[in-house]
Amino acid sequence: MTRVSGSRALVTGAAGFVGRYLVRALADAGWDVTGTALEPVANAESSPVSQWVYGDLRSSAHVDEALRVSAPDLVIHLAAISHLPTAANDPAMAWDVNVTATVRLLHALSQAHAAGVLAPRVLVIGSAEQYGRHDDGEAPLTESHALQPRTVYAATKVAQEVAALQVWRASGLPVIGVRPFNHSGAGQDGRFLLPALVTRALALREAPAGTPLVLGNTSPIRDFLHVRDVVDAYIALGQHGEPGAVYNVASGVGRSVREVAERILSRVGLHTTLHEDPALVRPVDVPSLVGDPARIASATGWRPTRTFDDLLDDLLHAATH
């Protein structure tokens, strides 16, 4: 990775799961990092973030303060409600946080750009969920596939991307859209699939022999990445992505939830059955989400370097230490 000593980066949502990995990777590459967070961060003094700006991106005053303090050359906008059920349970809040706050940030950036005050490259982080349901034969999905969101979260991410690209067309602010596929790693919220399965599998060690692993729908196929590969992709796109373009961050390899669960059980050293609990099945689950990484590979040379087993090992180590 090219070192960029002296360059300044602003990361919104820097205290979140991906944000924590991203700010470390940026700092290691020589960036001076400013992070935003809703509330003061524990042990902030040991963070690679050089300065924190606390507040809500739905506030224009907070946005203005973050830009003033950071004077960024690169903005990576992570802040969002990313848990699908949380967004579904409060759609108005999800639209407010994921879309309105993004529009407010982009407007402030475009004004600063027009005034010649700032000229940052801006990554707006969306989601593979934007694609929605496609026929199995269409995989892997390219950036030209139709966006057919099936969840509140996915719809907000489509709207966010539309707003971002409109700002680029209207103002010339160098905005890049990013659609990452599923990613995980140590420290991810236990409500998400992989850490939840790891926790349940480890608990079976203490359960009576033959106790099944309980999970939701086992048939969905997903493209899983290690979070460290994902943040490397973001930094590469921040340096080499084409403004106005949209990029998948994907491996191109799909694995079913059943395959994932069986792999986790194997690495835990257990041999048991899987039990689908209807209460855990989401009716809007997309059958398959596998992405084509050709565009980002061509633009930046990025490819995943961690294996799926590397990812599982990191999750298992974090859960047992």
**What 3-state DSSP class applies to 291?**
strand
| Banded model confidence at residue 44, pLDDT cuts 50, 70, 90 | confident
Average pLDDT value for residue range 241-246 = 98
Asked whether 76 and 231 are in contact (CB, 8 A), the reply is: no
- Decide if pLDDT at 136 tops 90: no
Query: Which of 101-110, 158-167, 210-219, 304-313 comes out lowest in average pLDDT?
Result: 210-219
- Decide if pLDDT at 279 tops 90: no
Length of the chain: 321
Give the model's pLDDT for residue 6. 60
CA 245 – CA 149 distance, rounded (Å): 20
Give the model's pLDDT for residue 281. 79
CA-based nearest residue to 294, from 257, 259, 245, 261: 245
Give the model's pLDDT for residue 268. 92
Give the model's pLDDT for residue 46. 79
- Where are the domains positioned within the chain? 8-185+224-253+290-305
Give the model's pLDDT for residue 285. 77
Give the model's pLDDT for residue 275. 92
Give the model's pLDDT for residue 103. 98
Give the model's pLDDT for residue 52. 96
* Fold of domain 8-185+224-253+290-305: Rossmann fold (3.40.50)
| Banded model confidence at residue 63, pLDDT cuts 50, 70, 90 | very high
CA-based nearest residue to 68, from 34, 17, 93: 34
Give the model's pLDDT for residue 201. 95
Give the model's pLDDT for residue 134. 94
- Decide if pLDDT at 284 tops 70: no
Give the model's pLDDT for residue 96. 97
Residues 257-275 have pLDDT tens digits of 999 999 999 999 998 999 9
Asked whether 238 and 305 are in contact (CB, 8 A), the reply is: no
| Banded model confidence at residue 7, pLDDT cuts 50, 70, 90 | very high
- Decide if pLDDT at 104 tops 80: yes
pTM attached to this predicted model: 0.95
Instruction: State the Rg of the chain over Cα.
Output: 20
**What 3-state DSSP class applies to 66?**
helix
- The mean of the pLDDT values for the chain is 94
Q: Where are the beta strands (DSSP E) in the chain?
A: 8-12, 32-37, 51-54, 74-77, 121-125, 175-180, 183-184, 213-215, 221-222, 225-226, 246-249, 255-256, 274-276, 288-289
Give the model's pLDDT for residue 123. 98
CA 39 – CA 167 distance, rounded (Å): 29
- Decide if pLDDT at 277 tops 90: no
User: How does DSSP classify residue 145?
Assistant: S
Query: Cβ–Cβ contacts within 10 Å for residue 62, how many?
Result: 19
Residues 137-191 have pLDDT tens digits of 898 999 999 999 999 999 999 999 999 999 999 999 999 999 999 999 999 999 9
